[in-house]
């Protein structure tokens, strides 16, 4: 299994849809997890951290499943402006690995 | 008052040349990083510096050398540029190494001809 894996997509969804992405990781000792968003030709920006108990920020919900070694991102009521690439980040003791990203395209 | 800035934004150069990319952060962070994002959009960490000490050095060619004159700056020097070095290079910073939010610069688009 690769260190960090994501489905590259693209996920094509209509406005208002709910969409979910997963990110699997191979190192069971991984400590911290994040979701970043990267718009075309822009730098990555933090979307949200992923806590063990799960966390929600408006339309976005992130969850961690340590037993199955994956994190997830759920986006409700998709907006056109949500179109971007979503990168998961897995942090170990002295390692940091970005996934290759999942592209989301929200259409009118 | 950009948090993390990089110069230049675009860099076009010939194979074999030596070039530098500068990075500055005004966030007071202790750790700075350099990433390479290739044509397939894969973002890979190259280096990070914590309080002017190199704390991680991924398997990048030794033609690449990070230089940190102070905590707010981490420059990237590249010797003998090759075609495969063409990519977008991002600088980033965080308060604590790895465990906290990273703030990225706008990127430097390097094209080696």
Cβ neighbours of residue B39 closer than 8 Å, sequence gap 6 or more: B86, B87
The whole-number pLDDT of residue A95 equals 82
Q: Which residue of B has its CA nearest to A85?
A: B41
HSE value, Cβ hemisphere, 13 Å, CA-based, for B14: 2
- Tens digits of per-residue pLDDT, A89-99? 999 887 889 99
Work out the pLDDT band at B1, boundaries 50, 70, 90.
Answer: low
Dihedral Cα B44, B20, B4, B8, nearest 10 deg: -110
Report which DSSP code applies to A10.
P
Q: What is the mean pLDDT of residues B80-102?
A: 91
Cβ of B45 and A44 within 8 Å? no
**Taking Cα atoms as reference points, which of B92, B113, B91, B87 lies closest to residue B16?**
B113
- Percent share of chain A, pLDDT over 70: 99
Q: Do A43 and B90 touch (CB under 8 A)?
A: yes
Interface contact B58, partner A, CB < 8 A: no
**Which of the pair, B39 or A68, is modelled with greater confidence?**
A68
Is residue B111's pLDDT more than 70?
Answer: yes
Q: Is A23 buried (19+), middle (13-18) or exposed (0-12) by CB count in 10 A?
A: buried
Task: Report yes or no: B34 and B20 within 8 Å, Cβ to Cβ.
Answer: no
Q: Are A42 and B106 in contact (CB under 8 A)?
A: yes
């Amino acid at each position: 299994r690769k260190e960090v894996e994501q489905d590259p997509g693209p996920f094509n969804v209509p406005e208002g849809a709910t969409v979910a992405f997963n990110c699997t990781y191979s190192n069971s000792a991984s400590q911290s997890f994040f979701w970043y968003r990267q718009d075309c030709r822009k730098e990555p920006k933090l979307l949200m951290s992923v806590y063990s108990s799960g966390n929600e920020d408006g339309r976005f919900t992130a969850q961690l499943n340590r037993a199955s070694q994956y994190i997830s991102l759920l986006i409700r009521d998709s907006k056109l402006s949500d179109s971007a690439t979503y990168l998961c980040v897995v942090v170990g003791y002295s390692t940091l690995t970005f996934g290759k990203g999942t592209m989301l395209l929200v259409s009118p | 008052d950009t948090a993390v800035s990089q110069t230049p934004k675009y860099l076009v150069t010939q194979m074999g040349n030596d070039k530098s990319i500068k990075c500055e952060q005004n966030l007071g962070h202790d750790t700075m990083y350099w990433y390479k994002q290739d044509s397939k959009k894969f973002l890979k960490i190259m280096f990070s510096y914590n309080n002017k000490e190199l704390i991680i050095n991924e398997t990048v060619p030794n033609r690449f050398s990070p230089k940190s004159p102070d905590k707010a700056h981490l420059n990237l020097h590249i010797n003998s540029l090759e075609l495969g070095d063409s990519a977008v290079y991002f600088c980033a910073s965080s308060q604590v190494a790895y465990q906290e939010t990273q703030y990225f610069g706008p990127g430097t688009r390097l094209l080696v001809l």
